[in-house]
Amino acid sequence: MNLKITFKREDVTGIFKCAYKIYRESDFNEEMSELIRVHPNAYNDFMAIEPARWSCAYSPFPVTILIEYIRDMIQKLFHDRRTFTDSLHTQLTPWATKYLMERNEESTLYMVHPIDWNEFEVKDGAKDGLLNPLDMTCMCREIEINLSPCAHALAALRACKRPFIDFCSYYYKKSSLVEGMQELSDQLVTWATGKSLIKSAH
């Protein structure tokens, strides 16, 4: 639209130029109120075109578009990971399952000598372990550091037919992974994005 040809009055073009450069909605509305006072037809013509197409005050902020994209991407990631986790047939996370399977295979070569119900000597041919399942301690200290059964513990638990899953930290379990992703996913709902950010800026 050529303003000088369409609207001959300088006050109309002046108000319009001021209005489209303004960044606050309140200031924009003041300018448009002045325009409707001096030239109602011009006001109607301008407002017939969506203000977001020509007014800085109503144009979406690029950063809000980026934030919404990031939020959508993270939500999709959480949804995909949650779907994958729900499909697991084990009680542990994939990493913990793989780790314990490797340690369990290693422990099949160990010799277990019960000292009493809650203490076992486990010989691995190198650095033997003295395991106490009740206190979840072993001389190798892997249990205390990793919060999951070491190879000595797996050998002893297998010998006394006790489930090793009970000796794994909650953080290695599938339920912990699901709850953690759900909590983060729920927090995304409270993100201030898009129109809410634009509204708070005015």
| Burial class, 12, CB count within 10 angstroms (exposed 0-12 / middle 13-18 / buried 19+) | buried
How far are the Cα atoms of 98, 99, 121, 141, 153 from residue 128, in angstroms, in the given order?
Answer: 24, 20, 7, 12, 11
Instruction: Sketch the domain layout of the chain as residue ranges.
Output: 3-53, 62-88+176-200, 94-172
202 residues of the chain, pLDDT tens digit each: 444 444 445 556 677 677 767 777 788 788 888 888 877 877 787 777 777 777 777 776 666 666 777 777 777 777 787 788 778 788 888 888 898 999 889 888 889 888 887 888 888 877 778 888 778 888 888 888 888 888 888 988 888 888 888 888 888 888 887 777 777 666 666 655 555 554 554 4
Q: Which ranges of 22-150 does DSSP label H, i.e. alpha helix? A: 25-38, 40-48, 62-86, 94-107, 142-146
3-state DSSP assignment of residue 138? strand
3-state DSSP assignment of residue 39? coil
Which pLDDT score is estimated for 12? 61
pTM of the model: 0.51
Which pLDDT score is estimated for 187? 67
Name 138's bridge partners: 131
